[in-house]
Structure 1
Amino acid sequence: MAHSKVIHGRYYGTGKRKTAVARVFLKPGSGVTTVNGRAFEDYFPNDVLRMIIAQPFEAVSKTGQFDVEVNVAGGGSAAQAEAVRHGIARALVELDENLKATLKRAGLLTRDARKKERKKPGQP
């Protein structure tokens, strides 16, 4: 990579999905996750969304080894969860370049570029 994205000892990754943008900071710790200053479980009460966010850690067998701080904006809750997942995967690659192949194979580094199609004239 051109330059390392390590800010104050935290590994940084940006994730996007639809109009949601997540800025993710990882640092070695006990597995505490905060989203927009709130507890992870409060921000994403749905179990499915929490499982989506945990996928990068499960793919590389590093569950509970990092504290995660996320700032996310835009989109709905599902798009935000997928943006966070993308950001975590990119931050893990900043941490260890050897994880890139595993995360790429799991499809976690690929940005889902689908967006809402514009409204065409004459359509309901």
Structure 2
Amino acid sequence: MKGYESLHSFYSPLRISTRPISRRRCFQGPRHTRPFSSSTRAAIAAPEIQFDGDASGRASLLQRARIVPASPSYFTAKPEFTDSLLNLQALLRKYEALPVLAPGHAPRVAWKTHAQFMLTSTEPVRVARYSRILKVLHRLNYIHPSLMPEEVAEAMQVYKRDVNPYDKVKQPVIIDQSGRARGLGRRKTSSAVAWVVEGDGEVMVNGKSLSQAFGRIHDRESAIWPLKVTDRVDRYNIWALVKGGGTTGQAEAMTLAVANGLMVHEPDLKPTLRRAGCVTRDARMVERKKHGKLKARKMPAWVKR
């Protein structure tokens, strides 16, 4: 009975039933690991909360309370980035029902690149994560400009570049008082400026004739190729200044310059010049030579492939 009294005194505050506990149930393990039925479950009220401290000298609840941060992502690895993304997503949900523009008619905006975003951020953010922000910005940019909320415009302004290249309007090239049209062209590291004027087919390059400036026949034909494909060799005179690179690069840079000047006189020739490849700049550069190769990619003859 002593064992029963000790067990009863131990469990009595937690039990409603006063029936004796069998010896078999006493050794079924700790109480918090044994299942109890609803009839034997404890029913004890929580102690009263003391906000001003208690008699034992413990601090009050207000003094022991943990300060909750204002940011919901304070304990994440990247709270600044997460807050920015959550803010944009909240704006999108808030104004999702506003009318939007047709696909392809949204204002062209130059957003900050990942490198520019990292200069203003104090956290390392991957490109894939930053693309999530750009995706939300593209959707917000399609809201009709007349109905664009002010808070959305302010949030989008943070991610715009300082200078928007799409706002620049290309100045039209006109014919001057002397009847000349100025054209520019580049190829590799070469650049050319050509003045096209109505004449009898004279071509001067850096103060020299075409045959003196370019020794190869292929380079001469490249220089005046826009005039040949349009049958305008005998109708215009050309004065050109070329510099940088080699003779082939200078001749191909002059091709683009002459074509741009010719289109000022006759804009209807643009489709013909485009099909001939005169108005599209070739952006390819010379590939550097690699170690152990004869040229950029050519391997020595003794190397077996």
Task: State if a TM-score over 0.5 links the two structures.
Answer: yes
Q: 1:40 aligns with which of 182, 204, 210?
A: 210
Amino acid in structure 1 at the alignment position of 2:255: R
1:3 to 147, 172, 182: 172
Q: 1:1-124, aligned counterparts within 5 Å?
A: 2-7=171-176, 8-117=178-287, 123=291
Classify 1:118/1:103 alpha carbon distance in 2 versus 1 (closer, same or farther; 3 Å): same
Structure 2 contact 193–257 (Cα < 8 Å) conserved: yes
Q: Deviations over 1:63-85 (max 9, x none)?
A: 12111000000010000000111
Aligned residue pair count: 122
SS of 1:6's equivalent in the other structure is coil
TM-score for the superposition, normalised by structure 2: 0.38
Deviation of 1:119 after TM superposition, in Å, equals 7.8
Runs of 4+ in 1 over 4 A off after TM superposition: 117-120
| 1:13 match: secondary structure | strand
Moved more, 24-33 or 45-54: 45-54
Gaps (5+ residues) in structure 1? none
The structure with the largest strand share of the pair is 1
Unaligned segments of structure 2, at least 5 residues: 1-169, 293-305
Taking only the aligned residue pairs, the percentage that are identical comes to 34
State the Cα RMSD in Å: 1.8
37-46 or 74-83, which deviates more? 37-46
Tell me the TM-score normalized by structure 1.
0.89
Equivalent residues of 2:179, 2:198 under 8 A apart:
no
Point out the structure with the larger helix share.
2
Higher relative contact order (CA 8 A, sep 6+): 1
In the TM superposition, residue 3 of structure 1 has moved relative to its aligned partner by: 1.9
Instruction: Supply the distance in 1 between the matched residues of 2:246 and 2:197 (Cα, whole angstroms).
Output: 27
